[in-house]
Structure 1
Amino acid sequence: METLEEYVDQIDPQHQERMIEVLTWVKETFPNLKSRIAWNQPMFTDHDTYIIGFSVSKKHLAVAPEAVGINHFTHDIVEAGYDYTKQLVRIPWDSAVDYTLLDKMIRFNMMDKAECSTFWRK
């Protein structure tokens, strides 16, 4: 699997539309980010450093802005009504996507990792 389209094609058909919507939003809102499939999930990078990734489960769309991003936005995540772990935010399939929060997480990672020369934070 090498493209976002191939990824979407292999997920549960009832979740494909939501995943397409989110991935398209990221690509249109942040055209400078590069999309790729790694670790069997779509992710976006800036200057070859990880910015945000997505994955799916039966119950939710997972958003992974790295632990630093989750820690920075814990209050906003809770306010949006989402559950989270150390590494990901869970957006239930029947909940709206808080694009303002996604925007903040992506912009934060881009700014915070502007000088980062590795894929993951160290």
Structure 2
Amino acid sequence: MARSPDRTLDRAITALLHEAVEHSRAMRQVLNQVGQLASLRISMLQGEEARDPAEAALTEVLSSLTKREKEVLDHLARGYSNRQIARSLEISERTVKNHLRNIFTKLGVGDRTSAVVKALGRNDN
């Protein structure tokens, strides 16, 4: 039979685990919403006339991406992992990595976060 301090500790651990699960669900929902907004912003940049030279350059760079690279970038903006992107687009993880390398090269960045930031037109470098 478990002692009282053991039960108290078990209850505390269980409560923290439940809280972590709820936090995780809320975080996923927020990330999904951010991803949807990021996708909308990327779509808007691709479909509208640029208002300034920097935006015109970004629009040109985004238009140089292939359809599949744009799909990968969209999933990237939603926070998907390489595995999730591969499953969603029904391609291999190696193919996802190849697309990411091409995206990074075309956008002139070196990582996932920078690619999304630049695609959203928020690169202040």
Band of TM-score, shorter chain:
under 0.3
Q: Counting strand residues as a fraction of each chain, which structure ranks higher?
A: 1
Structure 1 length normalisation: TM-score? Answer: 0.26
Q: Counting helix residues as a fraction of each chain, which structure ranks higher?
A: 2
Q: Return the index of the structure with the highest Cα Rg.
A: 2
Structure 2 length normalisation: TM-score? Answer: 0.26
